[in-house]
Amino acid sequence: MTSMTADFTPEGTTEISRVLADTPSAAELADGGYLTGPEGQAVASQMRESQLREALLLGRCGGTNDVNAFYQLNEEPAEEWMTRRELTIAQYCAPCPIAAACLELALRYPEHPRDLAVRGGTTEEMQLTLSKADHERLAKACALDARPAEQRVERLRPAREVKRLTQSHIGLSVKPDVLKTNHTELKAAVAHHERLQGEYRRVTGWAA
């Protein structure tokens, strides 16, 4: 039983993988050969869920209608499936330019055990082993994946505050001394909103 990522360990995550994960597009990473093998898994581990899903669109399996090649069929003898899945790994996963991204996504968001399939050149058994061994990192990665949604809420609050201040604090009826204070409050609210907006864009983009 083989696996393309049998030698991968979390220690493979290096500063260089973080830099590579900041590359503008999944296509560039794939074209550069940065999303395959143990080194590719180190890069994929630094990518956010949206980036990994973008990479999946470049997978070698994307153009096949033979979905069953990745799953054990009902009542299929284990020995036959093991033989068949090795052919799947050799035909689809070994030459795939985004295999590491495929595996990383499968490890972060696994299917129910009975629905597991070949992912990123890795067997179901190996996926379970890797998930168990790397559960702390995977949990942190999932938390970071959820962060953009949380930041979107945080970003919208100050945006509403800016609108409220604009509507209620500035106008011809406001006294000059109060107007000066209101302008200061409004300026601070705008700066706060712009800071959160910048953080949100960094997290949802390739600089996360």
pLDDT tens digits along 161-202: 666 656 555 454 556 665 566 667 767 777 766 676 565 555
Q: DSSP 3-state assignment of 119? A: strand
Grade residue 105 by pLDDT with cuts at 50, 70 and 90.
Answer: very high
Q: pTM above the 0.75 mark?
A: no
Tokens of 33: 């050969």
How far is the C-alpha of 11 from the C-alpha of 9, rounded, in Å?
A: 5
Query: What count of residues does the chain have?
Result: 208
Residue 112's pLDDT is: 85
Grade residue 63 by pLDDT with cuts at 50, 70 and 90.
Answer: confident
